[in-house]
Structure 1
């Protein structure tokens, strides 16, 4: 299998200055509960051909791959009895308590004023983890950008500030599904309950215990001390020209250091570290409650809940499906794949021929890195790249091809 995966990686990356429809570099890991099954990489970390090689320990922006780490941290608080999934978090977060629901505008023209009404409904931790709160990502919702302009707002979600995360709701909590800043607010709930920043909590309770030394919210910290090895191992990212298909180097996102640790998108890290997280979660899934007790990141009961379908209404599932289609959230899967959502990611509710089994979970980041976890087969994987814009065809086709190769080798085909 290793030879085949290595070949696929090498075929998909650029080997000279021509980058049309190629990636500069990529790293890939496959894991089961016992550890790595495969790790490999190909390509380079920056545009110049002589740049250092892209490796499984090359650090890059993880974007929404962060959400799995944050959800794991939050579920630890549930395990410890600090909060329940269905508790109303508004008393902990005054900003959430003040959020109103945007119902539209008084007119279509520029003079139209936002129509807002108070939200009388609870906002629960489950709402935040499943994106059923009504909180959007402002930069992808025209009505929210219009509201921002009307109120003179000068920040957005990628400012990594509380003001940047603070927008109206698009619907009453629990009545739909909308991808947005809910996990950022889950991180803020954690900070309120623990008295620690999300950066501090994650370092002490997830990253350090797993040995994820090259993952963190503070990029400057990861690049210290200023050793040549660490500096050369940072992947700044690349931007594809939509007309030519060629790539150019880009700068890292957001302010450094960030004003707030973004639980939804703030981590930097590498494929080798992410493999440790996926292995730890698979080990919990595979074990009994007694085996996991005291030795896992979360309890067996919490882990089982994290991978359980959470959407309760047809409206929620329809919203999810529409978002998946419009935003290319799972382009590695057939478009007609029925989907639900767990506490940690999207879930296919039927087997995908030649790929993951029913009940597998997945998510990605705007940088086009992706992970998946298959509880039925006990395997998981992650691909780390850093290319924009999101939905890059070269990236998701590579992810699909790698996954299909893994299943062809490791999982007997169902008749």
Structure 2
């Protein structure tokens, strides 16, 4: 079965300089609670045809794949009784408490005493909880991808942006009162700030102590130069980010659009990692769900992460957003979905693929992961490519997952 997955990977990567509708490289890892079932890769790490081979240990910026690791880190904080999921965090993070709610923009008809286009802001009086931040029900958006937040920023002359990795960049109005809907944004970044205010430590310090070091994931961290060296001296594990030209389909290299030395550590998008490390994280969640002794989170906590968290109104918001945004690209549009603590849940079996109750998410660079508790497996595809939801990457992920369920899992189950 490894040969089938290897062949699929190889068929999607560039041969030489011809990169049209191809990827430079990709890794794919499938795990059970007991360890890897499959680890494979194909391609290379940069446009140079002579560059190092892309392997499961190749390291790249992971963007929103950071969110699951940050979520596990905050869950450990909760398990240590330093904070609860449902405590109002506004007293701990005053900057978050000061954010208003954006109710729209003035027109002559609706607000004759205001200037045309002026943002309509009102104070937020609702509690903000860690659960809100991790499940994306706080109402926080992402200014670089949201027309209303961009319009608000322009109106006030704001230059800070979320991808600056600063508190100022994350400080945007709520799109609704916390808890009233579902909106994808900077909640996990603020969750990292909650941890820092509670512990008095950097997010990376706590994450290393409680998640990364116990799992042996030494290729994961917020600072690329600590992992692979300074720019110009980086080792062969470093993967260059590429961008597909919308007209030609060819790839070109793109600088990582994130600070090399971020002012604040972004729990939502700041990590660098590799396929093997990420597979180890997914394995640990399967261990926790199985009640294995020594897992980094408890069985009951892991079960809560996989419990659907949304009410009807929040689900309506979610379903309007996820397929338009691309986060649901690997499941049929209109499928029943919800959100857990750490990722989206599909609430029905997907034919030929994952079972009901599986958790998933993806990142700006087209990496995608899923955890299927019913089947007892999880997988991650690791690539480094923009723009998000690249059709070639989405198609590769679909073929890999279908091969896993058609052949890898039956063979694995038969061998147990």
Structure 2 CA distance for aligned equivalents of residues 211 and 49 of structure 1: 32
Aligned-pair CA distance for 1:92: 0.5
1:167 corresponds to 2:172: yes
Match of 2:215 among 204, 210, 222: 210
SS in structure 2 of the partner of residue 340 of structure 1:
strand
Residue 325 of structure 2 corresponds to which residue in structure 1? Answer: 327
Residue 259 of structure 1 corresponds to which residue in structure 2? Answer: 263
Structure 2 CA distance for aligned equivalents of residues 255 and 284 of structure 1: 34
Residue 310 of structure 1 corresponds to which residue in structure 2? Answer: 309
Aligned-pair CA distance for 1:139: 1.2
**Given the superposition, is the C-alpha separation of residues 248 and 128 from structure 1 closer, same or farther in structure 2, using an over 3 Å criterion?**
same
Q: Please give the TM-score of this superposition, normalised by the length of structure 1.
A: 0.95
Residue 378 of structure 2 corresponds to which residue in structure 1? Answer: 380
SS in structure 2 of the partner of residue 231 of structure 1:
coil
Query: Which runs of 5 or more residues in structure 2 are unaligned?
Result: 109-113, 411-416
Residue 119 of structure 1 corresponds to which residue in structure 2? Answer: 124
SS in structure 1 of the partner of residue 235 of structure 2:
helix
Q: How does 1:84-95 map to 2 (within 5 A)?
A: 84-95=84-95
Residue 366 of structure 2 corresponds to which residue in structure 1? Answer: 368
1:179 corresponds to 2:178: no
Structure 2 CA distance for aligned equivalents of residues 305 and 227 of structure 1: 44
How many residues are paired up?
406
Aligned-pair CA distance for 1:153: 0.9
Residue 15 of structure 1 corresponds to which residue in structure 2? Answer: 15
Match of 2:161 among 156, 160, 163: 156
Structure 2 CA distance for aligned equivalents of residues 242 and 227 of structure 1: 29
Structure 2 CA distance for aligned equivalents of residues 13 and 6 of structure 1: 11
Match of 2:349 among 351, 354, 365: 351
Residue 278 of structure 1 corresponds to which residue in structure 2? Answer: 282
Aligned-CA RMSD value: 1.7
SS in structure 2 of the partner of residue 232 of structure 1:
coil
Aligned-pair CA distance for 1:226: 9.3
Aligned-pair CA distance for 1:357: 0.2
Q: Please give the TM-score of this superposition, normalised by the length of structure 2.
A: 0.95
Q: How does 1:31-110 map to 2 (within 5 A)?
A: 31-107=31-107
SS in structure 2 of the partner of residue 234 of structure 1:
coil
1:29 corresponds to 2:29: yes
Residue 194 of structure 2 corresponds to which residue in structure 1? Answer: 189
**Given the superposition, is the C-alpha separation of residues 239 and 225 from structure 1 closer, same or farther in structure 2, using an over 3 Å criterion?**
closer
Structure 2 CA distance for aligned equivalents of residues 262 and 110 of structure 1: 36
Q: Deviations over 1:134-162 (max 9, x none)?
A: 00011111110011111111121111000
**Given the superposition, is the C-alpha separation of residues 252 and 69 from structure 1 closer, same or farther in structure 2, using an over 3 Å criterion?**
same
Match of 1:245 among 231, 244, 249: 249
Runs (4+) of structure 1 exceeding 2 A deviation are 107-111, 224-228
Match of 1:399 among 397, 412, 415: 397
Preserved contact between residue 24 and residue 43 of structure 2 (Cα < 8 Å): yes
**Given the superposition, is the C-alpha separation of residues 179 and 47 from structure 1 closer, same or farther in structure 2, using an over 3 Å criterion?**
same
**Given the superposition, is the C-alpha separation of residues 45 and 110 from structure 1 closer, same or farther in structure 2, using an over 3 Å criterion?**
farther
Aligned-pair CA distance for 1:296: 1.6
Aligned-pair CA distance for 1:411: 4.3
Structure 1 CA distance for aligned equivalents of residues 240 and 409 of structure 2: 36
**Given the superposition, is the C-alpha separation of residues 19 and 257 from structure 1 closer, same or farther in structure 2, using an over 3 Å criterion?**
same
**Given the superposition, is the C-alpha separation of residues 3 and 192 from structure 1 closer, same or farther in structure 2, using an over 3 Å criterion?**
same
SS in structure 2 of the partner of residue 29 of structure 1:
strand
